[in-house]
């Protein structure tokens, strides 16, 4: 019998992470995809996913708008509570055989709680990793609620087992986000004009010459420093005077501070060679990432997708602390000087060799097959 697999996407970044999995599920003979789009994935100001999904020819089963205004931690809690309520209704109406939740953003807790409490088997992608941030708590709590685990790395899989999960429920599949990287590696040309397609604000420049990329999110456990941290990054980029593509941050506690700092910077520093983008399509983002001289910030994309692309990355501050990495990443403190030094080192080094730490390009299909064949259970106990 066909299994109904409900994948809940709560953020634009999560969509590109599981795009290959969504396609594998929708093409699998024994699976039916129920795609639910929720939370910040629906917010236009962070770049709506709906257009991408339409282009990918995927059908949305339900939309759940549950993001509270105010990017503070009270709002994060309430957004999650509201998501739990609304997803419970969705699950009651569409009755999935299994629910998939992705990674570790705070909203994923809503998916995990609703499914677990409703005795629906729960699969978790990207458990077992180590980072900073509230993500760390969320990720491991979701592991405890989940019934089947698809780990991105061998070390992550081992960690999930150490946390007391049955080893036959833990699968080292690689990360489906890497599947898309392999597509890009086959055709890495910058064959599109992001300024034209995505608009954004700021200077326009020639991407055939060296350019930087910045993607810096607030650290949810340090919201008080969000403004200060981003100012150091802005200062560093300004002093380099190299063309830069700057990507808007996630909807997190602290995002308002970051947006404010960027707006104020733009107000006081006209004609900098910086262009600011909101969401762009995953494949376009990866092509830019493949061709950039260096990615600066604290996004996991530098460490995960960057490792496979060989992109030089400067990782700032504590947000990715503990995350497994290849050689392409250099760390910097959230201070102008430290950031500048790391960028110069990376520009001196140039591109790195590809590294398959996070996947071999077949994770989506591998996970879809496991979803079709694994026993569907929702009772478990710690193994020790």
Q: How far apart are CA 9 and CA 102, in angstroms?
A: 7
Smallest separation (angstroms) from a second copy to the CB of 54: 16
Which CB sits closer to a second copy, 312 or 334? 334
Interatomic CA distance for residues 314 and 270, integer angstroms: 25
Q: How far is the CB of 83 from a second copy (least distance, A)?
A: 7
Cβ proximity to a second copy, 67 vs 315, nearer residue:
67
Q: How far is the CB of 186 from a second copy (least distance, A)?
A: 36
Distance CA 334, CA 327 (A): 20
Which of residues 238 and 278 has its CB atom nearest to a second copy in the complex?
Answer: 278
Greatest alpha-carbon pair distance for the chain in Å reads 62
In the complex, the smallest distance separating the C-beta of residue 210 from a second copy, rounded to whole angstroms, is 26
Nearer to a second copy, 117 or 337 (CB): 117
Tokens of 171: 């699968």
**For a second copy, the closer CB: 128 or 364:** 128
Q: How far apart are CA 369 and CA 183, in angstroms?
A: 20
Q: Which is nearer to a second copy, 24 or 100 (CB)?
A: 100
Q: How far is the CB of 104 from a second copy (least distance, A)?
A: 11
The least CB distance from residue 308 to a second copy, in Å, is 24
Residues 6+ apart with CB under 8 A from 235: 336
DSSP 275-339: EEE----HHHHHHHHHH-SEEEES-HHHHHHHHHHT--EEEESSTTTT----TTEEEE-SSHHHH
The Cα–Cα gap between 267 and 365 comes to 47
If the CB atoms of residues 113 and 215 are measured against a second copy, the closer one turns out to be 113
Question: What is the CB neighbour count within 10 angstroms for residue 148?
Answer: 26
Q: Cβ contacts of residue 187 below 8 Å, gap of 6+?
A: none
Quote the CA–CA distance of 188 and 4 in Å, as a whole number. 35
Looking at the Cβ atoms of 68 and 372, the one nearer to a second copy is 68
Exposed, middle or buried, 189 (CB in 10 Å: 0-12/13-18/19+)?
A: exposed
* Shortest distance, position 264 Cβ to a second copy, whole Å: 8
* Tokens describing residue 26: 């929708």
Query: Whole-number minimum distance, CB 318 to a second copy, in Å?
Result: 8
């Amino acid at each position: 019998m066909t299994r109904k697999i409900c994948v809940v996407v709560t953020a634009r970044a999560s969509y590109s992470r599981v795009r290959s999995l969504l396609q594998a599920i929708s093409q699998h003979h024994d699976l039916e995809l129920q795609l639910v789009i929720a939370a910040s994935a629906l917010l236009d100001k962070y770049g709506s996913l709906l257009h991408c999904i339409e282009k990918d020819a995927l059908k949305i089963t339900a939309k759940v708008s549950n993001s509270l205004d105010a990017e503070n931690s009270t709002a994060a809690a309430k957004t999650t509570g509201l998501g739990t309520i609304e997803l419970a209704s969705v699950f009651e109406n569409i009755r999935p055989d299994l629910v998939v939740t992705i990674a570790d953003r705070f909203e994923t807790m809503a998916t995990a709680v609703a499914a677990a409490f409703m005795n629906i088997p729960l699969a978790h992608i990207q458990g077992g990793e180590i980072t900073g941030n509230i993500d760390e708590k969320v990720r491991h709590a979701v592991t405890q609620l989940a019934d089947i685990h698809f780990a991105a790395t061998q070390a992550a899989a081992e960690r999930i087992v150490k946390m007391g999960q049955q080893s036959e429920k833990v699968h080292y599949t690689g990360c489906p986000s890497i599947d898309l990287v392999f597509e890009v590696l086959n055709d890495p040309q910058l064959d599109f004009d992001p300024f034209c397609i995505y608009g954004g604000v700021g200077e326009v420049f020639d991407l055939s010459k060296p350019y930087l990329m910045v993607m810096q999110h607030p650290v949810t456990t340090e919201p008080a420093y969000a403004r200060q941290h981003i100012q150091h990054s802005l200062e560093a980029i300004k002093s380099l005077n190299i063309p830069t593509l700057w990507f808007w941050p996630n909807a997190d506690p602290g995002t308002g501070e970051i947006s404010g700092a960027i707006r104020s910077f733009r107000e006081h520093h006209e004609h900098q060679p910086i262009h600011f983008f909101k969401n762009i399509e995953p494949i376009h983002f990866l092509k830019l990432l493949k061709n950039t001289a260096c990615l600066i910030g604290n996004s996991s994309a530098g460490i995960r997708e960057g490792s496979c692309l060989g992109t030089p990355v400067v990782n700032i501050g504590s947000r990715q602390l503990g995350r497994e990495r290849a050689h392409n990443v250099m760390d910097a403190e959230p201070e102008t000087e430290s950031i500048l030094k790391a960028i110069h080192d990376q520009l001196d080094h140039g591109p790195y060799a590809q590294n398959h730490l996070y996947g071999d390009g077949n994770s989506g299909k591998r996970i879809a097959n496991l979803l079709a064949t694994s026993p569907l259970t929702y009772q478990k106990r710690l193994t020790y």
